[in-house]
Amino acid sequence: MHIAWFFYFIFIVLISDHVTAFSVVAYLPEWRYEGANFETICQHVSHLIFFSLEPSLDGSGGITGMNRFPGTHVLRAAKDAAKRHGCKLLICFGGNGRSSGFSATTRNSGSLKTFIGRVAELLKQYDLDGVDINWEYPGYSFGSGYGDAKLVDQDYNGLIELMIGLRELIGKEKVITMAYYPDSRQERILVAKQAPLYIDLFHMMTYDQGKGHHSPFELASKSIEQALNLGLPANKLTLGLPFYGRHSRTGDWTTYEDLIQKYSLNPDADTVKDATGVIYFNGIKSIRDKTQHAIDRHIGGVMIWEVGQDCRLEAVERSGRTHQVTCPHGPRSSLLVAMTEVISKSFPTQPGTMPGANSDSSSNGKSEL
């Protein structure tokens, strides 16, 4: 048994074609498209994920939410910047409040085949580099938690069949990633079902934990250690970095962009007070520390939810509107810049403006998502 697992993990490393020396994966939801500076984003990230479409609720294998897909002018701007900087462009399916169609789609082989085919057609039609599956969560319901063991197993079997089908149809040339919540149960199931055989990167949603600070350093450290101990491959893990804060009393979220404009933030700060409580967020120092920790633990990279919440370094002209600069102190205010400065010290020789931009090289080593 131990020998079988040894060869399984050796195989995982050998097939990791899309794992860069250090990946920087960023989600961008549809409400950010118009104001996004794709030139800046693609300088700093290796994978940009458009968020998000959904499998249809009726179990027909259809795709819904196409009104959230980037318009022609947005996609052109993103592709031009991505080409210049070697950034991969992916489309996400699912997310919080957008995952209800997965169960019905994956429980019927005909529907699953239809859905996989339509995803593959979408990637081909728009010349995208891959797909991200953000099923929140198999066998789980917000409000009531996990279902019985049979339901959980059924949904995870469906997830794996989806991944197998996607890999077979789109081939090794395309990227497949997924997000998960680090509660230890999900990691165990993913390893037991050999999900790393089909998936290039696993994004840890290391934020939105309970009351108090929703994404402290301790959560990041614990989640990495937990994933490694439970058997997920280090070079396929990304650490989730929140570019937003949450209120201690209401739980409401506020973007870092809004915080840096409204408050005079010290780079070391992770909290600000308002009239009714405290807003907990990740500031410049926290983003640096977490990024360095990911490098030190030799995992695959970091993931950002979501990149449109950083302050804007340059004005953007799009659709007849000017989206103004929002970084009050230029690059010193930007979380993206802080993150890249840390990465550049450990990976100074990688091609592209941003370390990890060439995702053809191999490695040794998520309302929120």
| Closest by Cα among 291, 221, 244, 256 to 25 | 291
With 0-12 / 13-18 / 19 or more C-beta atoms within 10 angstroms meaning exposed / middle / buried, residue 293 is middle
The predicted model gives 95-111 an average pLDDT of 97
| Confidence tier at 324 by pLDDT (50, 70, 90) | very high
pLDDT for 212: 87
Q: Given a cut of 50, is residue 15 above it in pLDDT?
A: no
- The pLDDT > 70 percentage for the chain reads 89
pLDDT at site 20: 56
Mean pLDDT on 12-40: 81
pTM tops 0.85, yes or no: yes
184 CB-near residues (< 8 Å, 6+ apart): 226, 230
CATH topology of domain 2-243+283-346: TIM Barrel (3.20.20)
Domain ranges of the chain: 2-243+283-346
Residue 148 pLDDT class (50, 70, 90 cuts): very high
pLDDT band at 356 (very low <50, low <70, confident <90, very high): very low
Q: How many Å apart are CA 38 and CA 307, to the nearest integer? A: 10
Q: Give mean pLDDT, residues 166-183.
A: 97
Task: Determine the Cα–Cα distance for residues 204 and 22; give it in Å rounded to an integer.
Answer: 15
Q: Which of 254, 245, 265, 247 is nearest to 327 (CA)?
A: 265
What are phi and psi for residue 177, nearest 5 degrees?
-130, 165
Please work out, in degrees rounded to the nearest 5, the angle formed at the alpha carbon of residue 336 by the alpha carbons of 330 and 340.
110
